[in-house]
Amino acid sequence: MVKPVLRNKRFDVRNDSTLCLFIETCTGQKHKFTVTNVSAGGVLTKTSENFDEQDELSVDSMIPYGKLIWDKSELVLGRMTIRRVRFDQETTCHQIAFSVVDSEIPVEGPLGFQLAESLISESSSSQLEIDPERFSLADFVNLDDESIDLFSRARKISIFRREWRKLPQYAYETTRKPSMGPRVTLQTTRRTTRNNFIVMGSNDYLGLAAHPEVINAAKKALDEYGFGSTGSPVTTGRSAAHVELCDTLAHMFRKDNAVLFNSGYAANIGAISALANSGDLILADFLSHASIQDSLRMSRATSRLFRHNDVNHLETLLEEHRHKHKGTLIVTEGVFSMDGDVSKLDEIVQLARKFNARTYIDEAHSFGVVGEHGLGLWENLSGGDKVDVVMGTFSKICGGIGGFVAADQEVCDLLDLMARSQIFSVSIPPSTAAACLKALDLFQRDKSLLTRLQENIRYFVNGMRSLGAPLAPDHASAVIPVIIGDEKKLGLMNEVLLNSGIYVVPIVYPAVSRNASRFRFTVMAPHTQSDLDLVIFQFEKAMKAADFKFEEVVSGATQNAKQGRTTPINLAS
Ligand code: PMP
């Protein structure tokens, strides 16, 4: 991997105290300057000392000897010429620019190199440069920074981000202005007269975040309970709305009970790390969501990843490792968050039975979307098979926030007492619990929500397939990945789409592997077919503008997507 090296032609030195220049003139006078900028051409300094311009340091005078004192070490600069002397009214300092005339120790030579290395780590400059054309976010994720300053990595990332934003194809930062539903108003960094964008990247698949009954339920609970829940569930954070929500979930998932968490992320890290203990084994799909991957790091159990949706690999791992451990948990997602494909749950559950393992399914993207009644993939299990633990989130089906785990009472008891992310964190506000209850109620009563969503998914998938997108004709989830592979083309196409009023989210590493960057379209029940037609039409335009063809990526990136994204956990062979 190419390391992002800052261009070392110019260094703005903000941290005044760390770099100063002492100059001894031929008359023996010593002047101290604070260096503010070092470039290949010279040094820019300032001084607040009582400095007389008429002194021997006037423009074009030669300084025979100068010392740069930095971090207690002395660096001889050799002879210099004064190029500019200017009094800055604002800072009441003299700005003095020197240029180096001695080629014995030019700034561009070894000294310059040393300066570059040192100043990068010492300076807090905002004007260091990183060429955003050469690097992508991917280069900074695992950046091995050698500086002793803890924030040096942050500085580099921040500089990259600033430069990145300047590029036309990335210059859109979107913020939603007051508006909701499948069409919204955005505040973009680009000037545009458009104020109506079709949302194609929302998690609110059923459009319930904007449903008047859901909003009213939240308002009523706000009046009754106030703003927050006031504590974690083990202290003051459990309201009647929370309890009712647990009962509803238990009923929907045909489990004894449910445990609430303040996000889906918190549910996975809390539940998985609490369930599997030291001496246990966790086997999870390679393409598991970050929250699952993080839970593996947090758990005291040993963890292994099986190749994406590869039950043969899962079986091999079970054969090799199961006997070395006490309990075993197999973790998978119903619908995978970035690829939108579904897991082979039937076979996984059978393997779990064969190897005496427990199963945990994350239904974040399947609850409200797939399954006989839209309750998730577990509904499709044949022969009365069951998943031991069902995890879900309110951020998709309800368009809200909060996570949950539904399971047998014993498991819920353990999680109530041991899942740290819900014990040591405030619970969702009662108004959120009430809104989720209303959203779940609407979902169960109004069957057209699910059918509309499923019809829209089919319609959009067919449309994208007609452009050549390698999507399965029976693609069932609302997550519709369109892999572009090349981040520059992705950015360019994003620009075209935004200009045409299509609001979709480009996804890059580390969310997906490096050459599988993509648009992650999500379809909503309230989209009209003409909305979707427009998106497909504009996408074709974007493809032409970026000279993109699906054949470019079909073999490389989709293959890569199957192999998995970069993960901190070793893939067992
Ligand atoms: N699991 C999966 C599979 C997800 O995709 C996500 C996030 N979209 C989460 C868990 C976390 O859910 P939340 O955003 O509600 O915290």
* The pLDDT of residue 27: 63
Residue 216: what are its φ and ψ, rounded to 5°?
-65, -35
* The pLDDT of residue 78: 65
Contact status, residue 44 vs residue 100, Cβ threshold 8 Å: no
Nearest to 107 by CA among 11, 209, 1: 11
Measured distance CA(340)–CA(322) in Å, rounded: 29
Nearest to 23 by CA among 31, 15, 14, 34: 31
Q: How far is the CA of 188 from the centre of ligand 1 (A)?
A: 26
Contact status, residue 405 vs residue 267, Cβ threshold 8 Å: yes
User: Please, what is the Cα angle at 499 between 496 and 500, to 5 degrees?
Assistant: 90
Contact status, residue 71 vs residue 122, Cβ threshold 8 Å: yes
* The pLDDT of residue 55: 55
Q: How far is the CA of 75 from the centre of ligand 1 (A)?
A: 54
pTM to 2 decimal places: 0.77
Shortest-distance atom of ligand 1 to CA 268? 10
* The pLDDT of residue 46: 80
Q: How many residues does the chain have?
A: 573
- Tokens 């079970």 map to which residue? 318
Ligand 1 contacts (CB < 6 A) are 263-265, 268, 289, 291, 333, 337, 362, 364-365, 393, 395, 403
Shortest-distance atom of ligand 1 to CA 396? 15
Task: Take residue 292 and report the two structure tokens written for it.
Answer: 């699952």
Residue 97: what are its φ and ψ, rounded to 5°?
-105, 130
User: Which of 289, 396, 398 gets mutated to test ligand 1 (max ligand atoms within 8 A of its CB)?
Assistant: 289
Q: How far is the CA of 399 from the centre of ligand 1 (A)?
A: 12
Shortest-distance atom of ligand 1 to CA 401? 15
For 233, counting Cβ atoms within 10 Å of its Cβ (0-12 exposed, 13-18 middle, 19+ buried), the class is: buried
Residues 289-327 as b/e (b if ≥16 CB within 10 A, e otherwise) read bebbbbbbeebebbbbbbbbbebebbbebbeebbeeeee
* The pLDDT of residue 508: 83
Q: How far is the CA of 392 from the centre of ligand 1 (A)?
A: 8
Ligand 1, atom 14: nearest CA belongs to which residue?
Answer: 264
Ligand 1, atom 16: nearest CA belongs to which residue?
Answer: 264
Task: Take residue 559 and report the two structure tokens written for it.
Answer: 């293959």
User: Please, what is the Cα angle at 410 between 409 and 411, to 5 degrees?
Assistant: 90
Catalytic positions, please? 337, 365, 396
Concatenate the DSSP letters of all residues of 361-403 into one string.
EE-TTTTTTSSTTSS-GGGG-STT---SEEEEEHHHHSSS--E
Other Cβ atoms within 10 Å of 430 Cβ, number: 25
Nearest to 43 by CA among 4, 12, 1: 12
Q: Report residues of the chain scoring pLDDT below 70.
A: 1-19, 24-29, 39-41, 48-57, 64-65, 69-79, 100-136, 142, 144-147, 168-172, 189-193, 554-573
